[in-house]
Structure 1
């Protein structure tokens, strides 16, 4: 494999990009979740990935920049959706990405990684002189950060105090009953889930979101509200519905439970998807979408309740029901 060149990871560009990638993916995206945070991850990742690959595989160092560019382009194009669906279905993953062609401009950062790999004098100031740390100090966290970037967080939540609604993303679990059997068990408990015939979450069309994005310069100036809605709908289908397309005959239905008791709290309008995720018709997957908890919480209180009560309690309830 040849001797590894530690300077590929012991340089300020790599270290700062790695730190920014971790910070952005695990903090900034959760707090803001806008176009800027999306681009930051792409820019940082396109520095970290080729340098890390060049460090791991010295014989391929001249190809890692091109390889990173190809992988990035494929990931950002719709052509990768069937492959993503296959991985999700085969390994019960929850991979997802937003198709946004403007992300391809981030490829312009790749020459910096190329210059560092080729040892050009113009970027020698980025190299750390005589680092006394073992390479594993950076290599191991780098592998973990890249894997965490590829695999989205298990859940994200947002709370809207003006409505009292909470939205989940990525909170899902499997049960050992078919969708029809789970509906029967819920009805037997007196919960009476009803089918949501709307299909597409109306929150993605919220005009307040459109106005906010315009205000912060995240949209083209001449983009109308109607065109924005069309783009958001297509985006939603490419991401949230992507995993369901792998098996159209088991397409997900969204259900609503008007009132649900979680611990000592009474929750309202619990929304969840219920579907067969694979060819095993005797198993179903439940994916929580949202609920209403009331208007008298601040963000920090809701975050604590989400992590410590709502999510866990709802999941525990369904799991206990699954045992019956």
Structure 2
């Protein structure tokens, strides 16, 4: 007997609500490893149950098919397909290759059991049952689509404090020459008196270096963004070792980011960007 009420299962509803909360709030607010894993764990319950609801004849094998698709989705094999989709469609698909996400597969037996259980839900009104299932199914479809779409983010304007220090196995002069070899300027200034992003306990009257117009590239070496300037300090704690501390990055002169959640999120994003675009090339 076909059971088409599994979409109203309490576990499914909780996972669906968690998926929406995570993708539309937690990821933008905290943007950490946990928020990334939450989508995988709850998504692997929501997706097969939703498919089994739409296509009841798949209920015996949809969990296995979901596992196979998930494993393939997390590999570089589908990268050309994603790139083709993103070139053709106005909506963009995003995917992170992280093999630790395979741990989420342990929840698939839960989804399989919910799909194939014989338990039925009883409603006083058949219309209420029908509309409830339609509503949850529509929300499920939206959540499944949204979790693979990059969130619409307004291009930030202003200065973002980074405050991260790295060690380069080169002298200070060699480090400066390496930055210049990447095609960037290295200008020296006596103090940061005009900065508003340095921590209060630090003096603004410190010497710093500034590099302008750092171009950000995607994985296909296409320019996607430009950092107006980055301020940093350089000093040699010992021979052939240079400490570089990235103080802040400025995205545009006309802007002031006020919301601390946004600043926290952007700090993580641009910290990773600077590591990938500059620091890794210096090491």
Same-fold status (TM-score > 0.5): yes
Decide which structure has the larger Cα Rg and report it.
2
Name the counterpart of 2:251.
Answer: 291
Unpaired runs of at least 5, structure 2: 164-181, 185-215, 231-248, 264-283
Q: Alpha carbon RMSD of aligned pairs, Å? A: 3.7
Call closer, same or farther: CA 1:8–1:257 in 2, change over 3 Å.
Answer: closer
In the alignment, the residues of structure 2 paired with residue 20 and residue 253 of structure 1 have an alpha-carbon distance, to the nearest angstrom, of 35
Shift of 1:155: 1.9
2:251 match: secondary structure: strand
The match for 2:107 is 109
Q: Could you tell me which residue of structure 2 aligns to residue 57 of structure 1?
A: 55
Deviations 1:33-63 (A, max 9, x none): 1110011000111000110111100111112
Q: TM-score, normalised by structure 1?
A: 0.50
Equivalent of 2:223 in 234, 238, 253 = 253
| TM-aligned CA deviation for residue 157 of structure 1 | 6.6
Give a deviation string over 1:149-195, Cα, whole Å, max 9, x none: 1222122677865369xxxxxxxxxxxxxxxxxxxxxxxxxxxxxxx
Out of 145, 153, 156, the residue aligned to residue 147 of structure 1 is: 145
The 2-side partners of 1:156 and 1:146 are apart by: 23
**Pair 1:130-2:123 in alignment:** yes
In structure 2, what is the equivalent of residue 207 of structure 1? none
Please list the CA deviations of residues 295-316 of structure 1 after superposition, one character each: whole Å capped at 9, or x if unmatched: 965216979xxxxxxxxxxxxx
The alpha-carbon deviation at position 256 of structure 1 amounts to: 4.6
Kindly report structure 1 stretches of 4+ aligned residues shifted beyond 6 Å.
156-160, 300-303
For the Cα contact (< 8 Å) 1:163–1:294, is it kept in 2? no
Question: TM-score, normalising length from structure 2?
Answer: 0.57
Provide the aligned length of Structure 1 versus Structure 2.
Answer: 191
Give the superposition deviation at 1:90: 2.6
Q: Which has the higher helix share?
A: 1
Q: Please name the residue that 2:92 is paired with.
A: 94
Q: 1:130 Cα shift?
A: 2.9
Residues 104, 296 of structure 1: CA spacing in aligned structure 2 closer, same or farther, 3 A cutoff?
A: same
Secondary structure at the residue paired with 1:152? coil
Task: Return closer, same or farther for 1:138/1:33 CA change in 2, 3 Å cut-off.
Answer: same
When residues 197 and 57 of structure 1 are mapped into structure 2, their CA distance, relative to the original with a 3 A threshold, is farther
Structure 1 distance, partners of 2:62, 2:261, is 45
The residue number in structure 1 matching 2:241 is: none
